[in-house]
Structure 1
Amino acid sequence: MSEVESEILTLEEVAAYLKAGKRTVYRLAQKGEIPAFKLGGTWRFRRSELDRWIAESINKKKSEAE
């Protein structure tokens, strides 16, 4: 696994990466709708899992449109 694939991001970094609000990312994490885990009570995210989640979301929307 490369350094980028295993990179751990904070909630703030994910919000910037997704161009979404911090509250939105927090809510998605709480609901289990975005791949995340808690470390010491703070949400953390693996970049590789986020990229996979994004790709799956795009493919799902394409399938629904057909």
Structure 2
Amino acid sequence: MLEQYDDLLTAEEACEVLKMGKNALYALLGSGELKAFRNGRVWRIPKQSVIEFICGKSKLTSF
């Protein structure tokens, strides 16, 4: 599913993968629930963080 993306996702790409809007994504980033970092004003979300977030929310052991 995430093979087409680089190891670091932009906010737009993360929204696309998680099927959510920007406001919801930025709330997750701000709370630290989705691990990421900022490069200046731009968020960079590691692909592994997205996978861990999905697995944690869905109670899956692997994705």
TM-score by length of structure 1 reads 0.73
The structure whose residues are more often helix, as a share, is 1
Alpha-carbon displacement from aligned partner over 1:6-52 (angstroms, at most 9, x marks no partner): 71001111001101001110111011111111112211101112101
Unaligned runs of at least 5 residues, structure 1: 61-66
Say what the alpha-carbon RMSD is for the aligned residues: 2.1
Q: What is the aligned partner in structure 1 of residue 24 from structure 2?
A: 24
User: Percent sequence identity over matched residues?
Assistant: 33
Greater radius of gyration (CA):
1
TM-score (norm 2): 0.76
For residues 20 and 11 of structure 2, what CA distance do their matches in structure 1 show? Answer: 10
Name the counterpart of 2:58: 58
Aligned positions of 1:32-47 closer than 5 A: 32-47=32-47
Distance (Å, rounded) in 2 between the aligned partners of 1:13 and 1:52: 16
